[in-house]
């Protein structure tokens, strides 16, 4: 039964069907062909969407859209430029830091690329950087967004593996900072090897203070979000709602650049993005139910534990699996299909659920940079107006810090577990 299910799904993908359609069609055909109850299609789909943590997904998307509509991303970029100064490779370092700051609101790699991509590339090209370098660095830095809270992939992972969403979001803070440091170290090395340009900005204390004052309300948004999670006063859904309210407040009454037309456009974008994500969630739930009915998770668990009961060996095997899967499958769909299959076996082997969640999502975010289904590659190709193969050339050097980050997160559990454990005492 599972072979039929996977075969139909693969045919759908090859034929060019959207992932959600391929998942739903494969599930429906298999259910009918094997005489399973048809009402499961509706039941499982509705149950998958009846999840409180998933309410945070549209709210975080809306918050990011509202902040982008205000134009605050440019203020933040200019502030970080002034702070970093005129070191060699400064604008590249600024791009990484701005991606970290904006990730505290967006929660998605593609949202970071859409909001910051053009600004980052234009600034780097204007300073004399090659366009390929700017495009590659931008999409590599965008992998920070889905690791640092609020992370939409982490929220979805938590919902399908019964892990605390708050704990998992907190677990992403240190790995995200680690990725940031490794990317900045890579740029520092490249600055010396290939003589990257110095920034032309002329920082002064007065200019920094003025830009900091302008940017402060926008910078307070991720602080509010992270503070709410760390304090325990808010769960992911509540903090997402507070962030939307805060974005509306500063947009209308502080910056005064937000209009009702812009809010309507942000709402429309949110509905479009959310509908796509939740369509995948619903159809993947039925797909996973058929696999579970055919004992695929149990069989895979027995197979993995038969290879080794060492958590390190198992997590390295899962890394190899996910790096390959990430090349062909959209990240949300991969989480919904694969996580319920492999997570129980790895938990049984003693791998910490929080560490596994970070490893899982980081693998799939690297998959966004790999052909043939690397969505970040195609989005950057559109934004930078350059062929995909040139974007791939630009991102190649940055696989080193990303894979090094993955290795550290995979082999050192404390990177993911230390902060949640500290705050839970």
Count of positions (residues) in the chain = 425
Predicted pLDDT of residue 398? 95
> Taking a C-beta distance cutoff of 8 angstroms, is the pair 380, 368 a contact?
no
* Range among 114-118, 175-179, 274-278 rated most confident: 175-179
Q: What's the predicted TM-score (pTM) here? A: 0.86
Whether the link from the prior residue into 150 is cis, omega within 30° of 0, is yes
Give the HSE-up count for residue 35: Cα atoms under 13 Å, Cβ half-sphere.
Answer: 0
For all residues of the chain together, what is the average pLDDT?
Answer: 86
159-184 average pLDDT score? 93
85-112 average pLDDT score? 80
With vertex at residue 207, the alpha carbon angle to CA 203 and CA 208, rounded to the nearest 5 degrees, is: 80
- What token pair was written down for 53? 């943590």
Predicted pLDDT of residue 268? 92
Split at pLDDT 50, 70, 90, the class of 107 is low
Predicted pLDDT of residue 374? 77
- Residue 39 DSSP class: T
Predicted pLDDT of residue 106? 64
Residue 181 pLDDT greater than 80, yes or no: yes
16-30 average pLDDT score? 86
Predicted pLDDT of residue 104? 67
Integer Cα distance of 211 and 218 in angstroms:
12
Residue 215 pLDDT greater than 70, yes or no: yes
Query: What CA–CA distances, in Å, run from 312 to 24, 346, 407?
Result: 35, 10, 11
Which one is predicted more confidently, 307 or 355? Answer: 355
Radius of gyration of the chain (CA): 22
Split at pLDDT 50, 70, 90, the class of 167 is very high
Q: Lowest mean pLDDT: which of 37-51, 244-258, 407-421?
A: 37-51
> Taking a C-beta distance cutoff of 8 angstroms, is the pair 93, 129 a contact?
no
Give pLDDT tens digits for 145-155: 889 988 889 99
- What token pair was written down for 224? 């509010």
Give pLDDT tens digits for 45-84: 888 888 777 888 888 888 888 887 887 777 888 888 888 8
Integer Cα distance of 98 and 272 in angstroms:
26
Q: Is 340 exposed, middle or buried (0-12, 13-18, 19+ CB in 10 A)?
A: buried
Integer Cα distance of 81 and 31 in angstroms:
57
Q: Cα dihedral angle (9, 55, 62, 225), rounded to 10 degrees?
A: -120
Predicted pLDDT of residue 172? 94
Reported for 266-272, long-range contacts at CB under 8 A and 24+ positions apart, including other chains, are 266/62, 266/65, 266/66, 266/69, 267/62, 269/61, 269/65, 270/58, 270/61, 270/62, 270/65, 271/58
Percent of the chain past pLDDT 70, that is, above it, reads 98
Query: What CA–CA distances, in Å, run from 98 to 92, 128, 219, 293, 348?
Result: 10, 19, 11, 46, 39
Give pLDDT tens digits for 363-391: 999 988 888 777 788 878 888 888 888 99
263-287 average pLDDT score? 87
Predicted pLDDT of residue 396? 93
Residue 397 pLDDT greater than 90, yes or no: yes
Predicted pLDDT of residue 357? 95
Q: Is 388 exposed, middle or buried (0-12, 13-18, 19+ CB in 10 A)?
A: middle
Q: How far apart are the first and last CA of the chain?
A: 47
């Amino acid at each position: 039964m599972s072979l039929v299910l996977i075969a139909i799904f693969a045919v759908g993908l090859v034929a060019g069907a959207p992932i959600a359609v391929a998942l739903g069609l494969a599930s429906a055909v298999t259910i009918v062909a094997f005489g399973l109850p048809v009402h499961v299609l509706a039941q499982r789909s509705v149950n998958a969407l009846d999840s409180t943590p998933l309410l945070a997904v549209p709210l975080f998307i809306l918050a990011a859209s509202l902040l982008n509509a205000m134009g605050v991303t440019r203020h933040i970029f200019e502030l970080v430029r002034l702070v970093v100064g005129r070191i060699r490779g400064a604008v590249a370092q600024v791009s990484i830091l701005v991606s970290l700051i904006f990730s505290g609101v967006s929660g998605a790699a593609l949202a970071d690329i859409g909001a910051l991509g053009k600004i980052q590339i234009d600034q780097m090209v204007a300073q004399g950087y090659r366009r390929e370098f700017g495009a590659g660095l931008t999409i590599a830095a965008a992998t920070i967004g889905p690791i640092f809270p609020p992370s939409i992939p982490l929220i979805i992972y938590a919902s399908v593996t019964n892990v605390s969403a708050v704990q998992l979001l907190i677990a992403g803070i240190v790995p995200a900072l680690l990725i940031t440091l490794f990317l900045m170290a890579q740029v520092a090395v490249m600055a010396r090897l290939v003589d990257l340009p110095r920034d032309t900005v002329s920082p002064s204390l007065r200019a920094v203070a003025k830009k900091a004052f302008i940017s402060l309300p926008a910078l307070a948004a991720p602080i509010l979000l992270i503070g709410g999670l760390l304090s325990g006063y808010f769960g992911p859904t509540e903090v997402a709602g507070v962030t939307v309210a805060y974005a509306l407040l500063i947009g209308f009454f502080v910056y005064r650049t937000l209009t009702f037309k812009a809010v309507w456009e942000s709402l429309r974008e949110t509905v479009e993005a959310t509908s796509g994500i939740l369509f995948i969630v619903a159809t993947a739930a039925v797909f996973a139910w058929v696999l579970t009915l055919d004992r695929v998770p149990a069989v895979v668990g027995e197979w993995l534990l038969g290879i080794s009961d060492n958590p390190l060996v198992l997590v390295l095997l899962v890394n190899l699996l996910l790096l390959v899967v990430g090349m062909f499958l959209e990240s949300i769909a991969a989480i919904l299909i694969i996580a319920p299959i492999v997570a129980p076996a790895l938990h049984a082997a003693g791998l910490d659920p929080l560490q596994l969640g970070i490893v899982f999502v980081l693998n799939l975010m690297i998959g966004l940079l790999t052909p043939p289904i690397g969505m970040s590659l195609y989005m950057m190709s559109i934004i930078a107006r350059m062929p995909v193969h040139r974007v791939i050339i630009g991102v190649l050097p940055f696989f080193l810090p990303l894979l090094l980050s993955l290795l550290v997160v995979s082999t050192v559990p404390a990177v993911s577990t230390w902060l949640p454990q500290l705050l839970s005492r």
